[in-house]
Every structure is written in C-alpha cells, then in structure tokens.
Amino acid sequence: MEKRFNDHVKHLPKHLLQYTIDQDYNHYTFQDQAVWRYVMRQNISYLPSVCHGSYIDGLTKTGLSSENIPSMYGMTRILKNIGWYAVAVDGFIPPTVFMEFQAHNVLVIAADIRQVSHIGYTPAPDILHEAAGHAPIIANKSYSDYLKKFGEIGSKAFSSAHDMELFDAIRELSILKEAPQSTDKDIKKAEKKVQKLQSKANKLSEMAKIRNLHWWTVEYGLIGDVENPKIYGAGLLSSISESVNCLNKSVKKIKYDINAANFNFDITKEQPQLFVARDFNHLNDVLEEFSQSMAFIKGGKDSLLLAIESKSISTCELESGIQISGVFHDFIEIDSRICYVRTSGPTALSLNNKQIKNHGISHHSEGFGFPLGKITNITSIDSLKTKIGEDISLVYDSGISITGRLINSLFDKQGKTIILTFSECTVFDNVHDKQLFDPSWGVFDLVIGQEIKSSYPNAADRSSFPDDLVEFSSKTIKPKYNNEDLKLHKLYGVVRQVRENKKTLSELKGVLDELMKSYRDEWLIFLEICEMTEKKSKFHQTAFANLLYLKEKNPMLIKLIDDGLKLVL
C-alpha cells in the first residue's frame, strides 16, 4: 500500500484524500511495461529537437526512466526535492479538485496506462500522460510557479451545472475508450454525448474559461516563436502522434493571450489550433490578467450571483474579514445596492479560513441572513462592547433596521468588532415593509460588513461541512484478462528477462514459435525482439519479416513500426 508510505498525503486536506488511490504497481503487466518503454524511447529520441529545453533535463530530475513505469512513491521521493509530490488517482477527477491538488504542489497521476491499440494517443488520463508529460517540465522553476498559481486561482473558479455534466460525459468516454471489452456502439454513443455537450452554446462559466486556459497551456501549449515554436504541453509531450502532427502548418498557431479562455476544445480529436506563449512568464501574466475578472477578486453583486447560481456550498467574504459559507439562496436589493443576503440550510462563519467557535453548521442549521451597508445611527460599532445586556437599535443606510438585546460581541485580533449577537431581535426592511428576522426564531448573529469583497466555491474552512463521498456516475473498468491474454503477457515477460540478461537468448525460440502460431498481430513484442537480436540471426529475421507483413496488412501500423525500427536498426 504505497499511500501509507507517502508522507505528503498525510498533510493534504481530508476532502482531497478520498480521491487518492494506491497505485498497486503489481497490476501492470509486462505488456504495459513495453508500452511505457516504447513511448518513452520515442520521446527521448524525437522530442529534444522540438520541445522546450526543460523537458529532457526534467526527465532526470524527476526520476523517470524509459525502462520502467514509475512508482508514485519513488517519484515523490525525487519530486519533493523540487517542492512537489505525486499521488495516484482513478482517471479523471473534477476540475476544481484537480486544481486544488495543484495548489498544494501535488501532481495527480492517473494510475492506469493506455492499451497498445491507443499507444499513439488516448483521451483518457494515464500514467504516460501525467508522469511522462507533466512531471519533467515541473522541474523548471518558472513553470512550477505557474502551475501552483494556476491551482490556487483555478480552485477559486465557479462551475456550472453544464460543466459537471460535461465532466461526467468526458470521464465516461475516457473509461470506455480504454476498456478492452467496450463495444464500438457504446464508444460512439459516448462520443456523441460529449460532442453534443461541447457544441452547446452555453455562457462559459469561470471554470470553463480557466479550464480552457489550462488546456491551451499546461496540456497543449507551445512556446517561443510562432513561426517555429517548441512543445511544452503534457498532452503533446505524451502523444507520439500529435507531438509530430502539431507542428505541421495545417495546425494554426495563435499568439497566446487572454482570448484563449474563450476557445473550447474537443478531446476526441487532434486540435485544429494551438496557442504559442512567449515564455513561462508570459503564462503568469495572462493568468494574472484573467484572475482580475473572477468573482474571488472582483466581489460585489456579480460574484454573489455566481455563488447563488452554483447551488452548492460557496463562500462570500466581507471586507471586515468575516467569511460566510453555505448555499446562497437570494438577496434584497435597494437602489441597485445589495442590502441583505440569505443562505439556505447549514451555514458556517469563519475568519482567516478557520471556523469561528460556536458558529458552525449545528448553530446555523437552517440558513443565515446578514445585512450589508453602513450603520448610520452610531459613530463606532466597536463602542458597543460596553453595551452588553442593553437594548440596542441599529439603522443601515439601506433602510434595514435591527432592534434587540445585545448579549455578546466578538472581535478579531486587532480588536475590531466582527459579530454582534442579539436576543429578542427583529430585523426589518423598512423600504419594502418586510420583516426579515423574528424574535421567536432565536438569537440573531449580526456579521459586520459593508460589502462582499470576494466570492468563491466551497467553504472557507472545509472542515465546517462533512465531506461528500466521491460518487462518480461512471466507474473505471479494469481490464479482464483471459487465458490468451495471460499467455501473451508471459511472453512479454520472457522477452524482458532476456533483454535484462535474466534469461538466455535461446529462450526466444519458444517465444517466437508461440507468437507466430497465436499472436502474429502483436507488433510491439516483435519489435522488442528485433531490438535485442543480431540482424543476421534467425530470431531477428523472423521478427522483422513479420513486422513487414503487419505493415502491409494494416497501414495504421506503418508509422508505429517504422518509428520503432529507427531506434533498433
């Protein structure tokens, strides 16, 4: 159980831990190891001339080998030297969760690996994409800082119902595409569902826009000169087909700027256009520019509307520092100003992201209301600390009034009043002649604040609310191997052992006999045999002749086989 040995996992917030899994290194077959080896050897051969210089250097710094699928624990031991860590997850995870891991300097890595049939490209996240694509560039300090900052900003982005519907559809498609037992009918149905959702002309949410920026930089980014760019995006680095195709003139190259946030993408096909950043500092500049339009920076009415539209736990932070977390329901507006806000259901109050004692969801279990604006009938709210036990009336510039017996006051570390608690309290909207709080409802906790300075998803203190159990609509389909599959994996194992001098070359005779009899279409293992045998040997000639046969039989294999042979012959 590698999770128990990963010290950094213990320091992650509890709500993130449920997304992590144990890698279970033993579930990788010898065929899986051959897939990793083929792609990595191709990358090391081809990418130096077309990728950002940090990639090849980063392979060494992050402890990645072309010979073996990396263990998450081993990666973390090396990554922590550059301030990062690795955890295994089960396929796609929600964008907000992904961003939050990134904000904690944690690289999430899908533990599975693509099938041989998808060796060139897969829409599913896999260990080749995550480990071999993302990890090496992280060794670059400027890029590492960008990733962390992106996580911090991205985790503050509001999502829409459409975002989650699209996430579920993409996750389902990725699972079906990588499951050997999936039917073409099921895959096409899932593809149509994704394409339909992607084509909907919905207003892009904050998360949709920042997801686009992530896609066109972290996943599919180019860097340098528009006329001769270099690759740094993990999706391109881990795709031995698209890393070549993306540099063709048929793929439009656009100077990267904030407008990339409005360009949606289709995961089912190669991208028709890519964006070219000047350098990694340029990425930070655009991210900073985009963040200024987000609710957690702008605050105000628009940010409150996003919290209400999300219909999920969100936080509104007042300029006084008080953070109200719950499901925001509605608000009262007077003269185009927000004067009263309400949540529905359990609500928690926090300060500096820590829940305030006695102000959790058990105390505010049925919703919470609070006025905004300036109190006009007293000079200083702090002067009320001497009025405990007295009847008090407060009048806001909006027309909201509060009358009741002051029974408690709460201050921040600077001595500023942040909460006043009243018994026998009435809150009244004098403009609309409407009572907002009745004395029979219990005590009224008045949070002090004139305006909403920030709104963002989730609770300020995540421990205020019980963690929702992760329940994906689609479950990962683990490969089911029949006896023929298991025999093939065993043959891959023998080839590997011969290459590592754990078995003698003579062992290949039985392997080749079995391959020619039952597995002639398995091009990758024939390629490995060509690699480790002398050209004049019968072993080599048999394997090479079968590869020529496969190229003629299936033109889709020509490039894969030829690229492999370039490293062998």
Q: Is residue 304 domain-resident?
A: no
Question: Does the pLDDT at position 233 exceed 60?
Answer: yes
Nearest-angstrom CA–CA distance, 273 and 245 = 11
Do residues 405 and 436 share a domain?
yes
CB 389 within 8 A of CB 424: no
> Which tokens belong to 118?
């998808």
CB 432 within 8 A of CB 132: no
CATH number for the domain that contains residue 319: 2.30.30.100
Residue 473 pLDDT class (50, 70, 90 cuts): low
The amino acid sitting at 465 is: F
Task: Give the range among 237-251, 336-350, 390-404 with minimum mean pLDDT.
Answer: 237-251
CB 151 within 8 A of CB 99: yes
> Which tokens belong to 91?
């396929």
Single out the residue in 434, 464, 494 at which a domain terminates.
464
Q: Is residue 147 domain-resident?
A: yes
Between 16 and 487, the higher pLDDT residue: 487
Distances (CA, A) of 515 to 34, 527, 561: 16, 12, 17
Give the mean pLDDT of 153-179.
Answer: 88
Q: Is residue 27 domain-resident?
A: yes
Do residues 107 and 170 share a domain?
yes
Question: Does the pLDDT at position 268 exceed 70?
Answer: yes
Single out the residue in 400, 432, 464 at which a domain terminates.
464
Residue 171 pLDDT class (50, 70, 90 cuts): confident
For β-strands 252-255 and 273-277, DSSP reports them as: parallel
Between 201 and 286, the higher pLDDT residue: 286
User: Looking up tokens 């009435």, which residue turns up?
Assistant: 426
Between 395 and 240, the higher pLDDT residue: 395
What pLDDT was estimated at residue 5? 47
495-506: pLDDT as tens digits: 999 999 999 999
> Which tokens belong to 371?
């006025």
User: Whose CA is closest to 461, among 326, 311, 344, 330?
Assistant: 326
Do residues 454 and 501 share a domain?
no
For β-strands 400-411 and 417-429, DSSP reports them as: antiparallel
Do residues 284 and 327 share a domain?
no
Question: Does the pLDDT at position 4 exceed 60?
Answer: no
What pLDDT was estimated at residue 269? 79
Question: Does the pLDDT at position 314 exceed 90?
Answer: yes
Q: Is residue 478 domain-resident?
A: no
Please tell me the pTM assigned to this model.
0.88
Question: Does the pLDDT at position 111 exceed 90?
Answer: no
What pLDDT was estimated at residue 290? 97
- Per DSSP, the three-state class of 345 is strand
Do residues 41 and 159 share a domain?
yes
Do residues 498 and 546 share a domain?
yes
What pLDDT was estimated at residue 82? 85
CB 280 within 8 A of CB 223: yes
What pLDDT was estimated at residue 384? 92
Question: Does the pLDDT at position 449 exceed 80?
Answer: yes
* 567 torsion bin: left (phi>0), alpha (psi -120 to 50), beta (else): alpha
What pLDDT was estimated at residue 303? 97
Nearest-angstrom CA–CA distance, 499 and 467 = 49
Give the mean pLDDT of 245-272.
Answer: 91
Query: Could you tell me how far CA 546 lies from the centroid of its own chain?
Result: 43
178-226: pLDDT as tens digits: 877 788 898 899 888 988 888 776 789 999 999 999 999 999 999 999 9
Between 475 and 557, the higher pLDDT residue: 557
Residue 305 pLDDT class (50, 70, 90 cuts): very high
Question: Does the pLDDT at position 282 exceed 60?
Answer: yes
Distances (CA, A) of 110 to 6, 70, 128, 239: 16, 12, 9, 16
Nearest-angstrom CA–CA distance, 563 and 17 = 41
- What are φ and ψ of residue 355, in 5° steps? -60, 135
Question: Does the pLDDT at position 2 exceed 60?
Answer: no
Do residues 86 and 152 share a domain?
yes
What pLDDT was estimated at residue 469? 62
Q: For residue 523, how many C-alpha atoms fall within 13 Å in the half-sphere facing its CB? A: 23
Task: Give the range among 72-81, 324-333, 421-430 with minimum mean pLDDT.
Answer: 72-81
What whole-number percentage of the chain has pLDDT above 70? 97
> Which tokens belong to 542?
């048999």
Residue 1 pLDDT class (50, 70, 90 cuts): very low
Write the burial class of residue 10 (CB in 10 Å: 0-12 exposed, 13-18 middle, 19+ buried).
exposed
Boundaries of domain holding 501: 483-568
Question: Does the pLDDT at position 515 exceed 50?
Answer: yes
Domain count, the chain: 3
Q: Is residue 297 domain-resident?
A: no
Q: Is residue 473 domain-resident?
A: no
Kindly report the three-state secondary structure assignment for every residue of 492-523: HHHHHHHHCCCCCHHHHHHHHHHHHHHCCCCH
Do residues 241 and 334 share a domain?
no
- What are φ and ψ of residue 233, in 5° steps? -70, 135
Do residues 367 and 458 share a domain?
yes
Question: Does the pLDDT at position 475 exceed 80?
Answer: no
Question: Does the pLDDT at position 170 exceed 50?
Answer: yes
Single out the residue in 289, 321, 348 at which a domain terminates.
289
What pLDDT was estimated at residue 323? 98
CATH number for the domain that contains residue 276: 1.10.800.10
Do residues 224 and 334 share a domain?
no
What whole-number percentage of the chain has pLDDT above 90? 66
- What are φ and ψ of residue 40, in 5° steps? -65, -40
Question: Does the pLDDT at position 266 exceed 90?
Answer: no
What pLDDT was estimated at residue 180? 78
Question: Does the pLDDT at position 388 exceed 50?
Answer: yes
521-565: pLDDT as tens digits: 999 999 999 999 999 999 999 999 999 999 999 999 999 999 999
Residue 455 pLDDT class (50, 70, 90 cuts): very high
**∠ CA(266), CA(268), CA(270), 5° rounding?**
75
- Per DSSP, the three-state class of 25 is helix
User: Whose CA is closest to 36, among 238, 242, 270, 267?
Assistant: 238
Q: Is residue 298 domain-resident?
A: no
Nearest-angstrom CA–CA distance, 126 and 109 = 7
Q: Is residue 472 domain-resident?
A: no
Residue 453 pLDDT class (50, 70, 90 cuts): very high
Give the mean pLDDT of 335-364.
Answer: 96
Do residues 401 and 428 share a domain?
yes
Question: Does the pLDDT at position 6 exceed 60?
Answer: no
Residue 10 pLDDT class (50, 70, 90 cuts): confident
What pLDDT was estimated at residue 439? 96
Residue 434 pLDDT class (50, 70, 90 cuts): very high
Do residues 112 and 139 share a domain?
yes
What pLDDT was estimated at residue 361? 96
In angstroms and rounded to an integer, the radius of gyration of the C-alpha atoms of the chain is: 29
Between 162 and 509, the higher pLDDT residue: 509
